[in-house]
Amino acid sequence: MSDTEKNLIDASAPLVEVNGLKQYFNINMGMFRTKPLKAVDGVSFQINKGETLGLVGESGCGKTTVGRTLLHLYKPTAGEIYFKGKKIETKQDIKEFRKKATMVFQDPYSSLNPRMTVSDIIGEPLDIHKLYANKAERQEKILELMENVGLNSEHAARYAHEFSGGQRQRIGIARALAINPEFIVCDEPVSALDVSIQAQVINMFADLQEKMNLSYLFIAHDLLVVRHISDRIAVMYLGKMVELADAKEIYDHPLHPYSKALMSAVPVPDPKIARANQRIALGGDIPSPLNAPSGCPFRTRCAYATERCAMEMPEFKEVSKGHFVACHNMDQAN
C-alpha cells in the first residue's frame, strides 16, 4: 500500500473508535467474596476529527469511567480502543496515545497541585514529554498557552489557591493543551463553576476547537451545555449506551424512553412552550450497578417494559442514518 493510500485511509477513519468497552470493579462483599460492579458494560462509539461527542446521563451511569478508561487511566476490563486506526494495546501504545490525547478534570480545586506555581503546572506536561529545547522556549510556550486561555503573564508565578474557580479551570485547560493534543476528554469541566462563568469556558472550548482542530468527548449532565457544544450526543444509563444521534435530532426526536424523559426535563426559556411541554416523570430510583436488572437496565423504570425486556438486553442498532437506539419497544414508545 502506498503512502498516499495510507493517508487517504487515515483521513476517512474516525479519530477515536471504541468497541465493546467494559470496565468492571471488584467490590469486596466480605468473607473473601467479591462481586463485579459493572461501571461500563459494552459501550461502543466513534469520534471523528474536529468533532464533539457529548456524553450524558444520570450521576453514577458510568460517564466519567468511560472517559478515564478511554485514556487508560483505568485498565479496560474488555473492549478495544483505536486512535487513528491503531489499536491501543501495549505500554508504548499508551505512551504515544497520551502525547495526543489528554483530559480536563471536573474539579478545578482538587486537580491542581497547591504546591506548584501556575507556570510549573502548565509546564509539567512539557517536562514529561520533553517538548522544548531550552528554558527560554519552555517559558515562551507556557506564556503562549496562558494567553490562549485568557490568563495574563503575571499570573505565571502565582499558586492555584490565589485564583477563582473559573481561572483554575482555565489553568487546567492550558495544562491539557500543553502537549498540543488532537483529542481531549472533558469530564464535566463546567459543573463546578458559577453559571456566569460556564458560558465563557464553553465558548473558549469552542474557540480552541476551531483554532487547534481539536476533537472532544464532552461529558456532562447539564443538557443545555451539551446541546450548545456537541455535534452528536450519546445517552448512557447504568453502564450501557441507550441512544446516539446528532445533537439536534436527539433533542427534537428522542426515541428511547429514557432519552425522552431526559429531554422533557430540559428548561425552555419561552413560558408558553414550557407550559405546553409535558414533563415525563420517571418512577423509582436508578438501580445499583452492583445489582443491575437482568436484560434491559432501564426496564424497572420504563412504562413500556415487557417480559422480553427482562430476558434480553436490546441490541444497540441503527434505526435511521446515524441514529442508534437500544430498545425492544421503540415503536410503542413513539
Q: What tens digit of pLDDT does each residue of 44-57 get?
A: 999 999 999 999 99
Q: What confidence category does residue 110 fall into, taking pLDDT thresholds of 50, 70 and 90?
A: confident
Same domain for 196 and 145, yes or no, is no
317-320: strand order across its sheet: 101-104, 183-187, 215-219, 52-56, 232-237, 240-246, 323-325, 317-320
For residue 28, give the H/E element and its range: strand 16-30
Q: Are 66 and 76 in contact (CB under 8 A)?
A: no
CA 315: distance to chain centroid?
22
For residue 121, give the H/E element and its range: helix 118-128
Tell me, what amino acid is at 283? G
Q: Which of 126, 139, 20 is nearest to 80 (CA)?
A: 20
Q: Are 159 and 118 in contact (CB under 8 A)?
A: yes
Does residue 175 fall inside a structural domain? yes
Stretch 151-176: mean pLDDT: 92
Does 131 score more than 90 pLDDT? no
Same domain for 191 and 264, yes or no, is yes
Does residue 117 fall inside a structural domain? yes
Does 291 score more than 50 pLDDT? yes
Q: Which of 38-47, 147-156, 281-290, 314-323 is predicted least confidently?
A: 281-290
What percent of the chain stands above pLDDT 90?
Answer: 65
Does 331 score more than 90 pLDDT? no
pLDDT number for residue 4? 46
pLDDT tens readout for residues 208-247:
999 999 999 999 988 888 988 999 999 999 999 999 999 9
Q: Alpha-carbon distance 242 to 258, whole Å?
A: 8
Which pTM does this prediction carry? 0.91
pLDDT number for residue 137? 94
Q: Are 151 and 172 in contact (CB under 8 A)?
A: no
Domain boundary pick from 145, 163, 180: 180
pLDDT number for residue 10? 53
Task: Please tell me which residue, 178 or 107, carries the higher pLDDT value.
Answer: 178
pLDDT number for residue 248? 92
Does residue 53 fall inside a structural domain? yes
pLDDT number for residue 315? 93
Q: Alpha-carbon distance 252 to 6, whole Å?
A: 39
pLDDT number for residue 8? 45
Does 287 score more than 80 pLDDT? yes
Q: Are 27 and 37 in contact (CB under 8 A)?
A: yes
SS3 content of the chain, % helix, strand, coil (to 5): 40, 25, 35
Same domain for 207 and 91, yes or no, is yes
Q: Which domain holds residue 261?
A: 3-100+181-333
Same domain for 214 and 286, yes or no, is yes
Q: What CATH number has the domain bearing residue 201?
A: 3.40.50.300
Q: What confidence category does residue 192 fall into, taking pLDDT thresholds of 50, 70 and 90?
A: confident
pLDDT number for residue 276? 67
pLDDT number for residue 288? 84
Stretch 96-108: mean pLDDT: 91
- What count of other Cβ atoms lies within 10 Å of the Cβ of residue 102? 20
Same domain for 187 and 158, yes or no, is no
What percent of the chain stands above pLDDT 70?
Answer: 94
Rg of the chain taking only CA atoms, in angstroms: 21
Average pLDDT value over all residues in the chain: 89
pLDDT number for residue 108? 81
Same domain for 80 and 140, yes or no, is no
Q: What are the b/e assignments for 30-65, b being 16+ CB within 10 Å?
A: eeeeeeebbbbbbbbbbbbbebbbbbbbbeebbbbb
pLDDT number for residue 11? 54
Residue 168 grid cell: 483554575
For residue 92, give the H/E element and its range: helix 91-97
How many folded domains does the chain comprise? 2
Q: Which of 104-113, 131-140, 142-151 is predicted least confidently?
A: 104-113
Does residue 105 fall inside a structural domain? no
